[in-house]
Amino acid sequence: MENTTDQTTAPKKQYISEGRVHAFLICDHSLTDNSAEFYDWLDDEGFTFGGRKGNYGVCPWCYADITRKLYAFGMPGVQVVPAIGGHAITVDEFKTIYAIYKKYEGKEIFTFHTSRFDYDTSD
């Protein structure tokens, strides 16, 4: 008899509040809107929504975890995860920090250009 049961399992949804829980806290008045340009930018960069609730339309902040590429909307009166550095940053500041880490994507942890510990050499 042929087995017709689908053997694939959908990947478990990741939440920003589970596992290694810390993220950048980003503040901008535009973030009260679910269709804010910054959320589109995060999606374009490969980030996934990892929140449990939708945007309430009153929180001008969100959380973004650059290691797991997750983001979540802010919630009134709730710290979704601890903020890296204990303070909010602007969208532009986040993009600057993200660009630094993005240039190392796919590289071994101590490789800055092409080989280990080559931080003091240029490309």
What pLDDT digit, counting tens, does each position of 36-92 carry?
Answer: 999 999 999 999 999 988 788 899 999 999 999 999 999 998 899 999 999 999 999
For residue 75, is it within any domain?
yes
Structure tokens at 92: 């532009």
For residue 13, is it within any domain?
no
Tokens 């960069």 belong to: 45
Domain of residue 46, residue span: 24-90
Total number of domains in the chain: 1
Phi, psi of 32 (to 5 degrees): -70, -15
Provide the whole-model pTM. 0.81
For residue 11, is it within any domain?
no
Structure tokens at 34: 């679910």
For residue 77, is it within any domain?
yes
